Amino acid sequence: MKFGVIIFPGSNCDHDAFWTIQQVARQPVTFLWHESHDLEGCDAIIVPGGFAYGDYLRTGAIAKFSPAMESVRRFADGGGLVLGICNGFQILCESGLLPGALMRNTGLKYVCKPVHVRVENNSTPFTNQCKQGEVLTIPIGHMEGNYFCDQATLHELQQEHRIVFRYATRAGEISPEANPNGSLDNIAGICSPGGNVLGMMPHPERASEPELGGTDGMKIFYSVVGALAGNREVAAGVIP
């Protein structure tokens, strides 16, 4: 089992994701340079947060042309697991791996704070360690987190249970007050039709250790580890 974390010019959460995989999840991980086509035999790819290529033109618009993302598209088409976090979510949408787009927050301000997200689908490789309807507390930090798609796409996401996370209250209520950025249908994360690609705006790596104020984010990473291991290790109690 091996994880890869892509580094783009402007990435600033790549080392956080690397640390979480290596030091908390205790799994092999390597950095992948944006100019390389080589995914180095990785079993799961993380497209991290930050400001890839300075967010010039618009978020993710340049990163989608990188050699690394060409390989990620082929990897995902073959069923490989891909997790896009914040800017990574934006890049996945620009690359066509996920539908829709991330626009400016409705308040036109950068928002950085812990939020509550409700697990809408716990049958994905990224949420198998969560309970259906469970509320996780995970930080956000973004200016363009306002998810939008057309009504046909929204209906498809809803019907196919591809909305994985929604912004919610601590009690799990989906409400406008719980929505930090104006995202359509309170969407905080969606997956691909096959469930092997997930994009989410909250940063699970920032909620991975008690010292960070919470560990709910580790459920995402442990889910991926469990999916890659066929849940054998999870069942054996090796993974917390």
User: Model confidence over 160-203: pLDDT tens digits?
Assistant: 999 999 999 999 999 999 999 999 999 999 999 999 999 999 99
Active site residues: 86, 203, 205
> What is the pLDDT confidence band of residue 55, given thresholds at 50, 70 and 90?
confident
pTM: 0.94
At 203 the pLDDT is: 98
What CA dihedral angle connects 79, 202, 89 and 240, to 10 degrees? -20
Kindly report, residue by residue over 140-154, the tens digit of the pLDDT.
Answer: 999 999 999 999 999
Strand order in the sheet with 44-47: 29-33, 3-7, 44-47, 81-85, 197-200, 187-191, 163-168, 111-119, 135-142
State which amino acid sits at residue 115: V
Q: Please, what is the average pLDDT of the chain? A: 94
**Mean pLDDT value across residues 134-140:** 98
State which amino acid sits at residue 118: R
The architecture in CATH of the region 3-236 reads 3-Layer(aba) Sandwich (3.40)
